[in-house]
Amino acid sequence: MKVVIIGPAYPLRGGLATYNERLARAFREAGDEVRLVTFSLQYPDFLFPGQTQFSTESGPADLDIEVSLNSVNPLSWWKVGEKLRRERPDLVIFRFWLPFMGPALGTVARLIARNRHTRVVAITDNVIPHEKRPGDRPLTRYFLSACHGFVTMSRSVLADLRRLGFRQPALYRPHPLYDNFGPLKAKPAALAALGLDPAFGYLLFFGFIRAYKGLDILLEAFADARLAKLPLKLIIAGEYYEDAAPYEALIRQHNLESRLVRATDFIPNEKVVDYFCAADLIVQPYKNATQSGVSQIAYHFERPMLVTDVGGLAELIPDGEVGYVVPPTPCAIADALVDFYEHQREQEFTAGVWAKKKEFSWSEMVKALKEVGQK
């Protein structure tokens, strides 16, 4: 089968690019011919909240990546769409995560579909965005109505599609493992690589820092007097995608500075293993969510997790087996963290993670995308 994946990829950085590149390898492992089409311009600089959109690492030499799509240039949309219409791939997979991308991706999808051969399938991370803005719904509808089918990575997004009235074939498949960050590393080696004192335990908050991810809730929880008595530190590993001032105010208010490990820059791929393997527990205190790639990195590195009971997070984290599912409140999070350390649950939950991780395969995602396309 001839497959094209359209979405972020190298030289862009971040979780979406990592996912799309890993998906391309999964198609290739299944015997398919696959190419990635990525953005020459993903966001105008004034819309991008981070330091840079581009990777400083070397590119993946094993993948065919075409850098040609400009998210704000309609001429680019037409060129990419017409080229793929003529090439007639069997399956084109769009990665859709933000209404802003609706015009570009929706136009390319419509142009491709004119050849009446190519099946257009979208992996829809969200159809209702975490951070709502005027115009979200028409932009999203423009893209979704151009697709022949969908694969969602949470049941909540599948339900959102149906609530919005889209009846194309759709399947739910959980986010596969992020197994491309290297093998597991022993905790002492990971701590040493980060220069961390092994006399402490470590919690990890990982990923871009945005309001919906609830770092403020976690800081409030971490201020709990019961946790302050433990030899415990919180690692904050990820770049601020918004104003850091409210978080800094909480840190000062609760006198948390000495109990934090800050790594608030973009974490390169080769360092991900150290942060996860150094941690006792991965904490995702989100206020709303659909699915999370952070959970799938934690599964790969066999780390217990705490997630909040929002969106699709709880679907993948059996409460009491691989970690905790709690309400998104400081008290509930603090109670779970106290339980984790007082009852020494790390070994028990790690065994649960090891058993559960076998369910999240890339081959199942490839099968789902092909199945939706065939329908």
Architecture per CATH, domain 187-359, reads as: 3-Layer(aba) Sandwich (3.40)
* CA nearest neighbour of 335 among 183, 224, 260: 224
Q: What's the rounded Cα separation, in Å, for the pair 109 and 346?
A: 47
Q: What's the rounded Cα separation, in Å, for the pair 167 and 347?
A: 44
- Calculate ∠ Cα 349-191-353, nearest 5°: 15
Cross-sheet strand order for the sheet of 170-172 = 65-70, 33-41, 2-6, 91-96, 119-124, 149-152, 170-172
The pLDDT, as a whole number, for residue 44 is 76
* CA nearest neighbour of 190 among 179, 204, 207, 176: 204
Q: Within the chain, which residue ranges are assigned CATH 3.40.50.11930?
A: 2-176+360-374
The pLDDT, as a whole number, for residue 246 is 94
The pLDDT, as a whole number, for residue 51 is 61
Q: What is the pTM of this model?
A: 0.83
Task: Provide Rg for the chain, Cα atoms.
Answer: 21
The CA-based dihedral angle spanning residues 157, 128, 306, 332, taken in that order and rounded to the nearest 10 degrees: -120
pLDDT, tens digit only, all 375 positions of the chain: 999 999 999 998 888 999 999 999 999 999 999 999 999 998 776 555 656 666 677 788 899 999 999 999 999 999 999 999 999 999 999 999 989 999 999 999 999 999 999 999 999 988 887 667 788 899 999 999 999 999 999 898 999 999 999 999 999 999 999 998 999 999 999 999 999 999 999 999 999 898 989 999 999 999 999 999 999 999 999 998 888 999 999 999 999 999 999 998 888 889 999 999 999 999 999 998 767 789 999 999 999 999 999 877 888 899 999 999 999 999 999 999 999 999 999 999 999 999 999 889 999 999 999 999 998
- Calculate ∠ Cα 101-172-303, nearest 5°: 95
The pLDDT, as a whole number, for residue 311 is 78
- Calculate ∠ Cα 141-142-146, nearest 5°: 105
Q: Within the chain, which residue ranges are assigned CATH 3.40.50.2000?
A: 187-359
Yes or no: say if 1 and 370 are a contact pair by the CB < 8 Å rule: yes
Fold classification of 2-176+360-374 (topology level): Rossmann fold (3.40.50)
The pLDDT, as a whole number, for residue 95 is 96
